[in-house]
Chains A and B, each alone.
Chain A
Amino acid sequence: MNAASPEDLGFADAQQRLLEIRALLDGVIVGQEALVTDLVTAVFAGGHVLLEGLPGLGKTHLAKALAAALGLQFSRVQCTPDLMPADVTGGEVYTTAPGGASSFVFRPGPVFAQLLLVDEINRATPRTQAALLEAMQEMQVTNAGACHRLPTPFCVLATQNPIELEGTYPLPEAQLDRFMFKLKVPFPARESLRALLDVSLDREPADTLAAIAGPDDVLRIAAVCRSTLLAERCKQAAVSLVLATQPDAGEQASAARRHLRYGASPRALQSLVRAARVRAVMAGRSHVDIADLEAVAAPVLRHRILLRLESELDGLDADTVLESVLGEWRNRT
C-alpha cells in the first residue's frame, strides 16, 4: 500500500476531529458518552436533534458545550405558551436612519444562529412550533415575502420534558419528522454523578470551553462524511429497515405488524444513511457498514413510529418495539 495521499488526509482528519470533539464533550458532560456520540453524529450529518429528558440532566449545558467546542454561533429560545413566531424567526421593525429616513428593516430572530437551542419546545404553541418548520427544513425564513437564508451550518437542538405535560402542546408528527434524532437523556450512573462534582461544582465548564473546530471545519467534515461509500448491500439493508417498521408493508417485522400504527417515513431513510455515514467516518472507514445503520436506527426511528393504542396501554414504548424490529431486521440482513 502506498503512502497516504493528501486526499486520504480528509478522512483521517475528519475522523480525528470527530473523535476529539467527542472526547471534549465527554469531559464536560460526564457519563453521557452515547448521548454525546449521537449528538455529534447528528450535527455532522446536518440534522436536528430533539433531546428528551428530565429537568437538570444537562441538556442545555450539552448544547452550550457543543456550540463552544465547534465554535458555532449559539442562540437560545425558551419556549412559553405566549411565545410568538416572530420572537423566533424575527420580524420587521420600523427604524429611522440618522438621516431621517424611516423604513421597515428585518431584524433576525434567534433562529439566525448556527446552533439554536429551543428549550422546552413543547410549551410553545403550535403556531410558534410551525414557525420552526421552514427554518429546520428549508434553512431559510420567509418574512414579508422575502426569504432570508440561515447561516450554515445550522442545527436545532430542541428539548422537551417527558413528564410535565400539563399546559404543553405535543409536537405534531410532521414536526417530529424534521428532527433527525430523538435522543433520550438518561439519568447518570453513580460514578458519573460523583465525577460531576469534580467537573462542574463551582464553574460552568461549557463557558470556558475552547473551540477545537470552526464552522468551516464542521462543513468540511460533513462533506467528507457525505462522500462515504455506500454499497448496494447497505442500501438494501437501510430500505429493509424502514420497510420493517411499516405495519402494512410486505416486509414488515412481526412486531411492527402487532404494535405499530404508522412506520417511518422516507425522510427517515435519508436520515438513517446520512447518520450512518458519520458513524462510518468516526470508525475510520470510508464505507458504510450494516453496523452503522444499526447504531443509528433507534435515534432515527423512535420518534417516527406511532404505536397502537393497545400496545401503549400494554406498557410498550417505541424503543421496545424497535428492539424487536431491529432483531428481525438483523436476522434478515
Chain B
Amino acid sequence: MSPANRPTVNPSLHPLSTDASGFAAVASLLAAVRRQLWRERFVNATRTALWVWAAILAAAAALHLAVGQPRLGIALAVAAGAWLAATAGAALRRPTEPESALFADRFLGGESAYSTWLEAWAGGNATDTPALHRLAQWTAAAVPASRRALDTRQPPSRLVRPLAAAGICTAVAALVTALPTAERDASGEPEREARAAATPVEAPSLGDDALARELAAELATPAGPSVGPGDPGRGSMGQADGADPAASAAMAREPRTAEPGAPREGERRATAAEAAVAATDGASPVGTAGADLGADDRLRASATRAAGTGREAGTSRDGLAATTDGSRALQGAMTVQRRDVTRPGDEAARQADMTQAGTYDGEAAAASGDSIAAPAAAAARPPAARREAALSPAETAYVTAWAEAARASRAEHR
C-alpha cells in the first residue's frame, strides 16, 4: 500500500488494540476500495473527455462548413484542453475515506459496518464497549467477502465507443478543414472567369469553301415537307433535335393561335428563320431579306429575343411543328454547325455554341433598338464568343444561298 493511499486511521487510537489484525484488514480493504474508486473516477473522466473531444471536433467541422472557421489546430487544441482538464480534475480528486467506506457498505456487503467502523475509530474518541467489540468482530469477518466482491467487481471501462467517436470526429474534422481551399478555388468567381477568358472560344465555323458549296447545293435542292401532315408529333421531335437555337426560339415565341392576317405557318417559320439570320448580321443581305419579310414586327422581336437567350430552343410545341421547306434547310445547316462544335473534349467550343446566339442577339437588339439585349447578354457569356461573331466567307455564302432559296421557296409556295 502506498503511503498516499493508506487510511488516516491510526491504529494506536482505537481502544481495541488487541484487534490489530482485524483493524489492518479493514484498513487494507478501505485502501483498496479507495484505489479502485480513484481508478474508476479517472476512467469515467477519460470517457467523458473523449466524448467531449468528439463533440468539439464535430462542432468544429460543422462550424467550418458553415463559416470556414476554425482551423483544425485550434479545434484540436480546445479538445485537448478539455481532455486534460477532465482527466487532471479526476486525478486530483482523490476519494476520501468516508467515500470508500460508503462504497464498501453499499456494494461490498458492508451493511454500514465500514462507515460505523470508520466513525468509531477515525476520530479517536471510541470507548471500549461491547458494541465496538462486536463491530470489530463483524467487520473482520466481513472483510474477506468484501475483498472478494471488490476483486470480482471490475466495471468495464467502456472506452471503445468514445474512443472510436473521437477518432472518427477527428478524421472528419481534418477532412472538412482541408476542404475549403480546394472548394474556394473551384467556386471562386474571379478565378473561374479568368479561366474562361484564358480559354479561347472558337466560334463555329464552316471551315472551307467545299463545305459551303455542298451546303449551297443542298439548299438549292427542292425539299419536300420534312414531316407529313398526319404526323405532327414526330415532326416536332425531329425539328427539335436539329433546329438552330435561335430559330427554334423564334418558333417558340410565335403566338399559339393564328391571328387574322398573320402569315401562314410555313411562311411564318421562314420569316422567323430569316429574322434569326438577320440578327447575326444586320448589314448582310439577310438583313434586307429580313426587312422584306419582316411584316410581322412582333414575330421578329420574338425571334431576336429567342436568339438572344438561346434558352427556349426546342421547348415550344408551336416551334416544333415545322412543315416548310425552309425549315429543313435550316435544320441541315445547323446540324452541320452543331456537329462542328460538339467534338469530344472541346468544352470551350460547346460553351461558345450556347453563347453564340447571345452574341448575335446583342447586336440584333442594338440594331433594332429592342431593350431585351441586356438580359440576353447576361444569359449569354463569355464575351470571347463575340470575337468570332463575324461570319466567314463560307458562312456568308451559305447564308446568302439560304436566303435566296428561302425566297424562291416562298415565291413558289405562293
Contacts and interface: CB of A to CB of B under 8 A. Distances in A.
A2 interface: yes
Interface string B126-163: 00011111111110110000000000000000000000
A124 B172 CA distance: 82
Given A8-B137, A233-B102, A227 B131 contact: yes
Contact of B112 (A10, A224, A233): A233
Given A1-B140, A2-B19, A227 B130 contact: yes
Contact of B116 (A1, A5, A227, A231): A231
14 contacts: A8-B133, A11-B131, A224-B130, A227-B130, A229-B116, A229-B120, A229-B132, A231-B116, A233-B105, A233-B112, A285-B138, A287-B111, A287-B113, A287-B138
A260 interface: no
A8 B134 contact: yes
Interface residues of A, number: 25
B18 A2 contact: yes
B136 A1 contact: yes
Interface SS majority for chain A:
loop
A196 interface: no
A73 interface: no
A4 B135 contact: no
B222 to A, nearest CB: 99
A234 B134 contact: no
Nearest to A286: B134
Interface string A249-271: 00000000000000000000000
Interface in A212-256: 224, 227-234
A288 B138 CA distance: 12
Name the 8 nearest CB pairs between A and B, nearest first: A286-B134, A7-B130, A231-B116, A286-B131, A287-B116, A289-B112, A289-B111, A231-B115
Contacts of B132: 229, 286
Interface string A8-38: 1011000000000000000000000000000
A4 B129 contact: no
Contacts, number: 75
Contacts of A286: 130-135, 138
Contacts of A195: none
Interface in B216-234: none
Contacts of B136: 1
A285 B102 contact: no
A86 to B, nearest CB: 44
Interface of B: 18-19, 21-22, 102, 105, 111-113, 115-116, 119-120, 129-138, 140-141
A123 to B, nearest CB: 43
Nearest to A6: B130
- Name the residue among A4, A5, A286 with the largest chain B CB count within 10 angstroms: A286
Given A232-B115, A233-B105, A291-B111, A1 B130 contact: no
A54 interface: no
Contact of A231 (B119, B130, B140): B119
A231 B134 contact: no
A290 B113 CA distance: 11
A13 B136 CA distance: 17
B406 to A, nearest CB: 93
Nearest to B118: A231
Contacts of B138: 284-287
A2 B134 CA distance: 11
Contacts of A232: 115, 119
Nearest to A287: B116
Contacts of B131: 11, 227-229, 286-287
A214 to B, nearest CB: 21
A297 to B, nearest CB: 16
B115 A10 contact: no
Contacts of A8: 130, 133-134, 137
Contact of B135 (A224, A234, A287, A290): A287
A323 to B, nearest CB: 21
Interface string A287-309: 11111000000000000000000
B99 to A, nearest CB: 11
A229 B121 CA distance: 12
B113 A5 contact: no
Contacts of A7: 129-130, 133
Given A2-B19, A7-B133, A285 B115 contact: no
B291 to A, nearest CB: 94
A229 B21 contact: no
B140 A11 contact: no
B276 to A, nearest CB: 83
Nearest to B137: A1
Given A1-B22, A1-B140, A287-B112, A227 B135 contact: no
Contacts of B116: 229-231, 234, 287
Contacts of A289: 105, 111-113
